[in-house]
Amino acid sequence: MSRKLALEIDALGEKLTKAKAMIATRVIGQDRVVELTMISLLSGGHGLLVGAPGLAKTRLVETLGVVMGLETGRVQFTPDLMPADILGSEVLETAKDGSRDFRFVKGPVFNQLLMADEINRASPRTQSALLQAMQEHRVTIAGADHDLPAPFHVLATQNPIEQEGTYPLPEAQLDRFLLQINVGMPDRDTEKEILAATTGLDDVVAREVLNSEELMDAQDVVRKMPVGDAVVEAILDLVRAARPDDPSAPENIREMVSWGPGPRAAQALMLACRARALVQGNLAPSLDDVVALAEPVLVHRMALGFGARAQGIDLTEIIRDLAQSIVGTEAAA
């Protein structure tokens, strides 16, 4: 590693520590969620926040937009939402001379950070409107391509409890999310702190720590970070072992999992490990990063078979056990 790159990583690590601390002042007790969300952005990807209502998912995205200096848009997904409500549409305008022409009116997707609130409430037709935007960073309207701003990220929220009137995201769209970030309930002490901080007259105001240009520079640094052979092999071993039809898959994967992660999962895990190392101030990712990120990278890219679902088997536990069995021993060493 060059000295210049090492200095860049050190400088960015300090800024990211400040950004993380700033977000934590408004999103209390969700340090892992905050870190994973930052990792999604630093990797140049999108995040799916899954949790019950009232766990500060919306507050997190709003705060992240301010701290990262990003132009932010929000769409509340509902069953009657149409693709044009997200992407925009062409309108017919009449000029003063009487001539008529179409003008494209941009939708909320034309922001650097788009919050897709309760994304599974929209119809599959509307959900699919985001596919091209998330993958290609452009949209096609009436045969014309329109580039999205850079950087472009989608942070979507989903309520796992209430399923009436929802449309589960198809596998093709789930795979577009770099990480699935599960947001859990706070413990008693944390909830007490939340009550004290959020029910008074004053609320903590977030301040900008980075801007969009600095975020893109950080994304470039993430891709420049060296990755050791041991980490690369661990990522490949883990992703391939999670596929039930792969010879390296353990018996419980072959019996319980109906389909496993594709190559995009390995790419996501490689980038996320680099980004986590950067957030934590390390010069290169380690095996610990692979273990820590196995669940958020793989959980939405795998599915349990009917028998395993009937038995109430938890996919996250399977992934954690798999990561520990393949990578954990070496990481501990």
Give the highest mean pLDDT range of 99-113, 163-177, 292-306.
Answer: 292-306
Q: Percentage of the chain with pLDDT > 90?
A: 51
pTM of the model: 0.90
Question: Domains of the chain by range and CATH?
Answer: 225-333 (1.10.8.80)
The candidate with the shortest Cα–Cα distance to 251, out of 321, 183, 176, is 321
Question: Would you place residue 333 in the very low, low, confident or very high pLDDT band (cuts 50, 70, 90)?
Answer: very low
Spatial contact of 235 and 296, defined as CB atoms under 8 Å apart: no
- CA-closest candidate to residue 218, choices 60, 40, 34: 40
| pLDDT value of position 149 | 93
pLDDT at 11: 87
What φ, ψ does residue 94 adopt, rounded to 5°? -110, 125
Arithmetic mean of pLDDT over the chain: 89
Rounded to an integer, the average pLDDT of 215-244 is 94
302-325 average pLDDT score: 89
Q: How many CA atoms lie within 13 A of 195 on its CB side?
A: 7
Q: What are phi and psi of 181, to 5 degrees?
A: -110, 105
Sign of CA dihedral 297, 120, 114, 187: negative
In the three-class reduction of DSSP (H, G, I as helix; E, B as strand; rest coil), residue 69 is classed as coil
Q: Quick count: other Cβ atoms within 10 Å of Cβ 33?
A: 23
pLDDT over 60 at 237, yes or no: yes
Question: What's the pLDDT score for residue 164?
Answer: 66
Q: What integer is the mean pLDDT of 48-77?
A: 91
pLDDT of 267-296, one tens digit each?
999 999 999 999 998 999 999 999 999 999
> For 183-203, what is each residue's pLDDT tens digit?
989 889 988 988 888 887 777
In the structure, what pLDDT confidence band is assigned to residue 332 with cuts at 50, 70 and 90? very low
Residue 329: predicted pLDDT: 52
Give the span between the Cα atoms of 149 and 82, in whole angstroms.
Answer: 22
Q: Of 192, 167, 304, whose CA–CA distance to 244 is shortest? A: 304
Q: 71 pLDDT band (50/70/90 cuts)?
A: very high
The pLDDT of 33-44, averaged and rounded, is 95
pLDDT of 1 above 80? no
Examine the pLDDT at 34 and tell me if it is beyond 70: yes
Mean pLDDT across 151-159: 92
Separation of alpha carbons 80 and 98, rounded Å: 35
